[in-house]
Amino acid sequence: MIYAVGDLQGCLDELLQLLEQVGFTDSDQLWLTGDLVNRGPKSLETLRFIKSLGAQACTVLGNHDLHLLAVAHDKKSVGRKDTFDEILAAPDRLELMEWLRHLPLLHHDQGYMMVHAGIPPIWDPDTAAACAAEMEEVLQGPNAAEFFANMYGNSPERWDPSLEGHARHRLITNYLTRMRFCSADGTLELATKTGPTNPPEGFAPWFSFDNHRCADQQLLFGHWASLEGRAGRDGFHALDTGCVWGGQLTALRLQDQCLFQVASPGYA
């Protein structure tokens, strides 16, 4: 069986409870929508556990994971709300960061596409996969630190295939790891972090467009806790149910789309 799980953010205890609930065995697979770390109590232990699963786990990178990598590469300071200290002081820090840096941004298998935040409506599956692969080459290559130094920012806002360099890579990363609202032409609106019912004028949830070019896929994503696990559209599976904020940790069994949840006391 394959179980897809939403954002962990250091909530390892809840993950272990969830795996016990579903009867997870060595023959099962665990897919994770990213944001393994930050805000929760056990980010270091979470990284170690997921890494220890080897090929049994498939994780895509989220914005908090990329933020950790930028901090670890001395390209960004630790923020007031970040909970990275234990990771940065760990004896296996370098090994963990190398493993994290080599995780994908998109996973496509078994009829499902999994990303952290979303796929803009103007991208078809091939474009999404190609852009993710392009970024993975950057992250895994010798110039990753240079990218981390230029990763932050909200511009450019709209996709143009002719974009180059840091601007191109920043936009791809923002689409895949930060997006909530956009327009039909793929213009990003990154300032608004509320729920989907009150979008900024001219924008809508990225998954809501009738002509979304990945609408024939089964899409798995996290990132947007205020969706409370409801995208409201067949084939779009919102798996971040706010575990770190006192919600639940959610798993979707892909074979029958059965949901499993464990409650969390909240940490952030």
Q: Does residue 175 register a pLDDT over 90?
A: yes
Nearest-angstrom CA–CA distance, 245 and 268: 6
Report whether 28 contacts 2 (CB < 8 A): yes
Q: What is the mean pLDDT of the chain?
A: 97
Instruction: List the domains of the chain with CATH numbers.
Output: 2-263 (3.60.21.10)
Helices 43-52, 12-22: axis angle to 10 degrees equals 40
Over the stretch 247-267, which tens digit does the pLDDT of each residue have?
A: 999 999 999 999 999 999 999
Please compute the mean of the pLDDT values over residues 201-224 and round it to a whole number: 97
Handedness of CA 94, 99, 102, 106 (dihedral sign): negative
Closest CA to 250 of 235, 237, 239: 239
pLDDT value at residue 65: 98
pTM of the complete model: 0.97
Tens of pLDDT, residues 232-241: 999 999 999 9
Give the tens place of pLDDT for each residue, 36-93.
Answer: 999 999 999 999 999 999 999 999 999 999 999 999 999 999 999 999 999 999 999 9
pLDDT for 82-130, tens place per residue? 999 999 999 999 999 999 999 999 999 989 999 999 999 999 999 999 9
